[in-house]
Amino acid sequence: MSDTTKFVLSEKQIPDAWTNVVPYLPTPPPPPLHPGTHQPLGPQDLAPIFPMALIEQEVSTQPEIDIPGEVLDIYRLWRPTPLFRARRLEQALGTPAHIYYKYEGVSPAGSRKPNTAVPQAYYNKKAGMRRISTETGAGQWGSALALACRLFGLDCTVYMVKVSYQQKPYRRSLMRAWGAEVYASPSEHTQAGHKMLAADPDSAGSLGMAISEAVEDAATHADTNYSLGSVLNHVLLHQSVIGIEAQKQMALTGERPEVVIGCFGGGSNFGGIALPYAIETLKGGPKTRLLAVEPLACPSLTKGVYAYDFGDTAQMTPLLRMYTLGHDFMPPGIHAGGLRYHGAAPLLSHMLAEGLIEARAVPQVPVFEAAVLFARCEGILPAPEAAHAIRAAIDEALAAREEGRARTILFCLSGHGHFDLGSYDTFFDGKLLDYEHPAEAIARAMQTLPRV
């Protein structure tokens, strides 16, 4: 028996279509609302900032959407990604469970974000755009979009949350290497940023603020569109390549997962690995537990309310019905920057409300403990975001040991941790804090929910 077991697909097995869970849902997800009229949003409302091809995908009820050849050409740089069985981790845990993971850190950006950055850049290029604006927190999304824009000859402007801009200069350098223009947000480049700076010149910024700036930039320049790295339906759609490939690879193992696990920030990583399994179940196939794992410090799914809220701080976005902590909620500075979002993908929020998926919140010290155990067993150093999924996978495997019953676990290892070594140092130095979900801050932010 081989110790390391890797399940690889041939290049021809890269999916040629994305799969869409929407047509299989028992009830349709509530529509986004216009922030002014509170009426369901029409395609024309989104046209100032998105190309029509992506708007069509956003509202599509087609079960499959073909992946353009130009996108596949770039996917081939790192896809198909490998699926591994974590045998050494299983041994270390003494569990009868079988643990599999799909590894998305092999892309040039080190994470699964290019899966959607590439088609978004492609459709914008095709629509005649010259430039894309976006926001980024820790920098994973900004760097993925910078890469994708460069490959299609588009300019890219990234509003990077100021505290990350200052504390994580290396992600900024990566965007720079791929030719993007990066501003610390709030900035003087937008009206929204100007206002925020006027109110608080020392503002450290937030993802909600940076979204406001990027949306304004796109809305006020005809040759520029906006791009979002998570939350929206078309982003979840693009990430379905992860789960489709994983299903083919799990077939090679001769097992099927009892539980599929993904970390959860905006939701596109979890959606990517989980939704193809949800479709399988909804089509009458076997039931698979689908487990979203979020940080206890920013517990939208487990402590938020399911309500209409804004996607950004400046209240410029459409209203989305989602699990939210309130658009004013400011999560503590946890080390999984990609999971610090007050809301959650509307599609996945709907599925959670319908009982089609599960959610769990975990504190960050046990997350880093899981990350280090994983790195020492399996070799790959995970991004702190991805380590949330590892924590839950380990807990599932330990439960299997308690029960004395085998089970098959699959999780998405969404990115490597080579950009996150400062956070590992904080952990090794014993300085990592375990934030409880900040109940009072949530209660305060909840009062800002719009009345719909």
Answer yes or no whether residue 2 interacts with a copy of itself by CB under 8 A: yes
Q: How far is the CB of 99 from a copy of itself (least distance, A)?
A: 15
Answer yes or no whether residue 27 interacts with a copy of itself by CB under 8 A: no
Peptide bond before 186: cis, by omega within 30 degrees of 0? Answer: yes
d(CA 450, CA 445): 11
Span 327-386, contacts to a copy of itself by CB under 8 A: 372, 375-376, 378-381
Task: Please identify, among the stretches 190-198, 352-360, 391-399, 418-426, the one whose residues bind a copy of itself according to the rule CB under 8 A.
Answer: 418-426
Nearer to a copy of itself, 151 or 412 (CB): 151
Q: Is residue 114 a contact partner of residue 141, using CB atoms and an 8 Å limit?
A: no
d(CA 183, CA 191): 14
Could you give the C-alpha distances from 432 to 51, 101, 395, 420, in angstroms and in order? Answer: 42, 26, 21, 13
Question: For a copy of itself, how many residues bind (rule: CB under 8 A)?
Answer: 46
Answer yes or no whether residue 177 interacts with a copy of itself by CB under 8 A: yes
Q: Is residue 242 a contact partner of residue 102, using CB atoms and an 8 Å limit?
A: yes
Paired with 291 in beta bridges are 261, 358
Nearer to a copy of itself, 180 or 291 (CB): 180
Could you give the C-alpha distances from 111 to 368, 418, 432, 447, in angstroms and in order? Answer: 18, 11, 24, 35
Q: Please list, in sequence order, all residues whose beta carbon lies within 8 angstroms of the beta carbon of residue 147, skipping any fewer than 6 positions away.
A: 108, 109, 114, 117, 178
Could you give the C-alpha distances from 254 to 7, 257, 408, in angstroms and in order? Answer: 11, 10, 11
Pick from 428, 434, 436, 439: which binds a copy of itself (CB under 8 A)?
Answer: 428
Answer yes or no whether residue 166 interacts with a copy of itself by CB under 8 A: no
Answer yes or no whether residue 47 interacts with a copy of itself by CB under 8 A: no
Nearer to a copy of itself, 84 or 308 (CB): 84
Task: Please identify, among the stretches 106-114, 285-293, 351-359, 383-391, the one whose residues bind a copy of itself according to the rule CB under 8 A.
Answer: 106-114
Answer yes or no whether residue 10 interacts with a copy of itself by CB under 8 A: yes
Answer yes or no whether residue 243 interacts with a copy of itself by CB under 8 A: no
Answer yes or no whether residue 6 interacts with a copy of itself by CB under 8 A: yes
Answer yes or no whether residue 174 interacts with a copy of itself by CB under 8 A: yes
Give the CB-side neighbour count of residue 75, counting CA atoms within 13 A. 29
Q: Which two tokens stand for residue 97?
A: 């469970």
Task: Please identify, among the stretches 127-135, 144-152, 276-284, 293-301, the one whose residues bind a copy of itself according to the rule CB under 8 A.
Answer: 144-152
Q: Please count the other Cβ atoms lying within 10 Å of the Cβ belonging to residue 102.
A: 26
Answer yes or no whether residue 130 interacts with a copy of itself by CB under 8 A: no
Span 55-84, contacts to a copy of itself by CB under 8 A: 70, 73-74, 76-77, 84
DSSP code, position 11: G
Which parts of this chain interact with a copy of itself (CB under 8 A)?
A: 2-6, 8, 10-11, 70, 73-74, 76-77, 84, 88, 106, 108, 110, 147, 150-151, 169-171, 173-174, 176-179, 372, 375-376, 378-381, 416-419, 421-422, 424-425, 428
